[in-house]
Amino acid sequence: MYIIIFGAPGVGKGTQAKILTSRLDIPHVSTGDILRDAAARKTELGLKAKAIMDAGELVPDDVMIGIIRDTLNQERCAKGFILDGFPRNINQAAVIDKLFTELRIEKIVILALEADDEEIVSRLTNRRACKECGQIFSIREIEEISNCPNCNATGSFYQRNDDKEDVIRRRLAIFHSSTKPVLDYFEGKRVILHIDGLKPVDAVSEQILEKLNNLNF
């Protein structure tokens, strides 16, 4: 099964992608991960992307789609994948749609995780990370402890810049103006499953799996 996981920042795309990759036995293709992998393997496109990122610039669509093409052509993606982090705008949607046609990938499902903006802001501003291991916790999970439950570091909890309210609201504004129209682009072209992203993690996973099982592929 070929899946694009889609939704606003903080809605839980990465969490659900990791669960689904285990349950469905298909790889999680995160654009951040494949960029780092391509750079580490020193592929031509990977080195080009690394130079661009090191300069603090965004990787252009032609380089990004080339790296995605190389990844989707790998044997591990032959039976399916979960694409996370692309497309982020209508232009990228058109490019990836063309790539799917080129690679003869037809049975594509878009999982649209949905949540109210204010709930996302509340969820993310109540997160804290450990400086030592990078594990993320809700304030409720750590409010009565001083040691990280994952690595036992003391006094290591902090709020990441990405979890500050002003940053979150800017990211949400970009999502609504640039990324959300991607769903309109795919409407009628691909199967779109709308998922309530505010339920508990396990409930969201079961909701996704039930809807996927009901597809007539």
**Per-residue pLDDT tens for 128-137?**
999 999 999 9
Task: Assess whether 171 carries a catalytic annotation.
Answer: yes
Task: Assess whether 13 carries a catalytic annotation.
Answer: yes
Q: What is the pTM assigned to this prediction?
A: 0.86
Whether 109 and 2 have beta carbons less than 8 Å apart is answered as: yes
Q: Which residues of 17-31 are buried (b: 16+ CB within 10 A; e: fewer)?
A: bebbbeebebbbbbb
Q: Which of 36, 171, 180, 211 is catalytic?
A: 171
Domains of the chain, residue spans: 2-26+79-213
Condensed to tens digits (0 to 9), the pLDDT of residues 50-91 reads 888 888 777 888 888 999 999 999 999 999 999 999 999 999
Task: Assess whether 18 carries a catalytic annotation.
Answer: no
Scan for tokens 């199967």, then name that residue.
191
Please give the structure tokens belonging to residue 41: 């393997």
Q: Which of 36, 127, 180, 199 is catalytic?
A: 127
Q: Kindly state which CATH superfamily the domain 2-26+79-213 is placed in.
A: P-loop containing nucleotide triphosphate hydrolases (3.40.50.300)
Helix, strand, coil tally for the chain in percent (to 5)? 50, 20, 30
Task: Assess whether 69 carries a catalytic annotation.
Answer: no
Average pLDDT over residues 35-55: 86
Q: Which of 48, 50, 88, 190 is catalytic?
A: 88
Task: Assess whether 48 carries a catalytic annotation.
Answer: no
Q: Which of 160, 180, 199, 211 is catalytic?
A: 160
